[in-house]
Amino acid sequence: MMIDTDANIGALKDLRRARRHNRLENIHWIDALYRVYITALLGGIFVILAAGKLPDDKLSPESLTKLADQGPAAVGLLIAVGLAFGLRSGGRGGPLTLEAPVVQHELLAPVPHEAVVRGPAIKQIRFMAFAGLVIGGLIGALAGRSLPGDIFGPIIFTALTFSVAAMASAGVAMVVSGRRIAWWLANLGALLVVAWSVVDVVAKVRTSPMTWLGGLAFWSIRVTPIALVSVVLALAVAVAGVLSVGSLSIEAARRRAGLVAQLRFAVTLQDIRTVVLLRRQLSQEKPRGKPWIRLKRRGRTPQIWRRDWHSYLRFPLPRLLRMAALGVVAGLSLGAMWRGSTAMFIVAGLALYLAGYDAVEPIAQEVDHPTRWESYPDDPGRLLTMHLPAAIVTMVFVCAIAAASALLLVPSTVVVRLALPMVLVAACGSAMAAAVSTSLGAPNISSIMGLGPDLLGVVLAARLVAPPAIAVVALMPLLAAGRDADMIQTTSAKVSNAVFYPFFVIIGAGLVLRYRKPSHL
């Protein structure tokens, strides 16, 4: 029996056309306009605040020359990180996230897989290009204020750079997914890509195609024709991804569709712990069967302390690398803050907050398995707080990585003076923030429904914002450090005095964890 493929493809197009029509009918134009308004408002506020924190002075000729020489490698490193994420996503079955009905009915229908996934692949490439265009344009608008000449040049070239880089990241993920390259090969490729760009940054050379593409962002200062080669390569990767994504694994697509649907539902409910668990399942991250180091069976240390370190010693390598990478991001962000970008301390706080989620994994395991210890004759809060010392020690290592990373942008004398009073404070703040967020669980809507719609929204927003705010507030003493390296004695004294204020926030978070029964119990 011959199958009429053309007729099936036509039926598939009709089905999608009908689904698109039904979806658009359910969207009211006022709701769509409101979303556009909110997005534009938030974007405008961000640009205004960021522009107010950046200097208006034009760079000197010497600074322009240094920026043109070293800037492409730094931007190339960002592009390499994006490509690394694309490689890892492709190794896990991404980047396409098809709906469950599409996987069940369309991919299993007598229709070529290319006809099913090519449309979503093109849409994702198009969305990534647009997102990169917008983000690059915002960065160019902010950075162009310090560059000579017209501001439209930096906006155009930076927007094109990030747009092409985003397309390449999505394209390489589709190539890896379509060719079904093993996850370990994809991770190895991601490591090599980032290492290549790091070599360019450290050695101040331009050997990586990512560095070539980074040079496109600085064409308003210096034109480097070799950037066109990287643009052609990036576009070729995007086209290759669209052409090869049809061979993706149906099993991986089905698994990804189910997990992403649950992930979206958990995000809607603000159940952060469930979001973390689903993200680990999505990335196929499992604890090690054997610990990195075996601890002695007997000792004088408390049993909870030993259980915590047994948990840490079974962390998989990707989780450890992620914690280290977040420490590097925090350190570089603090270095940028010291150089004048004040708002970057928020990025540093959020990075440490995300690393804290892995550090409080023993607390999360207690919350996830209440039947194992809820009959224990003690308060739940006391048992949870007994896990905090190990989490704080773990975050001390992450904060030490952040301090070492800050050396790339901050003089060593400043880092040494500031690290001594701040490492423990930042570690306590990030660990407390993650522990409070983990113990909160999903909000009980029925208990707060009587507050009314206005107060209900405020309460839900506070639950979402308060935990990361703890980690950010813990870093606020660094704002008192200033930028004068010659005043390091006065600077370190200001920081030591300002530590007094985050102390109250950390103590308050500890009291919440101690006396509030976790919602999962």
Using N-to-C axis directions, what is the helix angle for 152-178 and 209-216, rounded to 10°? Answer: 150
Q: Report CA 263 to chain centroid distance, whole Å.
A: 16
Asked whether the predicted pLDDT for residue 394 surpasses 90, the reply is yes
What b/e string do you get for 461-495 counting C-beta neighbours within 10 Å, with b at 16 or more?
eebeebbbbbbbbbbbbbebbeeeeeebeebbebb
Question: Comparing 222 with 25, which gets the higher pLDDT?
Answer: 222
Report the C-alpha gap between 27 and 17 in whole angstroms: 16
pLDDT at 168 exceeding the cut of 90 = yes
pLDDT for the residue 30:
60
> What is the spatial distance between Cα 274 and Cα 144, in angstroms, rounded to a whole number?
41
DSSP 294: P
DSSP secondary structure letters along 349-416: HHHHHHHHHHHTHHHHHHHH-GGGTTTSSS-HHHHHHTTHHHHHHHHHHHHHHHHHHHTTTS-HHHHH
Query: What pLDDT was estimated at residue 1?
Result: 47
pLDDT at res. 34: 53
Q: What residues contact 155, with CB distance under 8 A and at least 6 apart?
A: 137, 140, 141, 144
Can you give the length of the chain in residues?
A: 521
- What distance in Å separates the CA atoms of residue 120 and residue 19, rounded to the nearest whole number? 14
The string of pLDDT tens digits covering residues 235-280 is: 999 999 888 887 777 777 777 777 776 766 666 656 667 777 777 7
For residue 212, what pLDDT is reported? 92
CB 310 within 8 A of CB 295: yes
Assign 68 a pLDDT band (cuts: 50, 70, 90): confident
Per-residue pLDDT at 481: 67
How far separated are the first and last CA of the chain, in Å rounded? 59
Q: Find the mean pLDDT for residues 452-459.
A: 57
Query: pLDDT tens digits, residue range 270-326?
Result: 666 777 777 777 777 788 888 888 877 666 777 788 888 888 888 888 888 888 988
Least confident of 66-75, 168-177, 252-261: 252-261
Percentage of the chain modeled with pLDDT above 90: 10
What pLDDT does 213 receive?
Answer: 92
pLDDT of 490 reads 58
Q: Residue 350: its pLDDT value, please?
A: 87
Report the range out of 27-36, 138-147, 160-169 with the highest average pLDDT: 160-169
Whether the pLDDT of residue 446 is over 60: the answer is no
Q: Count Cβ atoms below 10 Å from residue 447 Cβ, excluding itself.
A: 8
| Average pLDDT in the chain | 78
Give me the phi and psi of 106, to 5 degrees please.
-90, -45
State pLDDT tens for residues 431-440: 998 888 888 7
**Digit-coded pLDDT (tens) for 326-383:** 898 888 888 877 776 676 778 888 889 989 988 988 888 887 776 666 666 666 777 7
Tell me: pLDDT of 164 over 90.
Answer: yes
The pLDDT of residue 291 is 84
User: Does the structure show a pLDDT above 90 at 398?
Assistant: yes
Range 290-322 burial, b when 16+ CB lie within 10 A, else e? eeeeeeeeeeeeeeebbebbebbebbeebbeeb
Distance CA 412, CA 406 (A): 9
Would you state the pLDDT for residue 167?
A: 93
Between residues 310 and 39, which one has the greater pLDDT? Answer: 310
- Measured at the CA of 366, the angle between CA 363 and CA 367, to 5 degrees, comes to 90
What is the SS3 assignment for 438?
Answer: helix
* pLDDT of res. 165: 93
The predicted structure's pLDDT at residue 50: 55
pLDDT(521) > 70: no
**Cα 11 from Cα 3, distance rounded (Å):** 13
Contacts 24+ apart (CB under 8 A), 46-53: 46/138, 47/138, 47/141, 47/142, 49/343, 50/142, 50/343, 51/141, 51/142, 51/145, 53/340, 53/341, 53/342, 53/343
Query: How much is the pLDDT for 43?
Result: 61
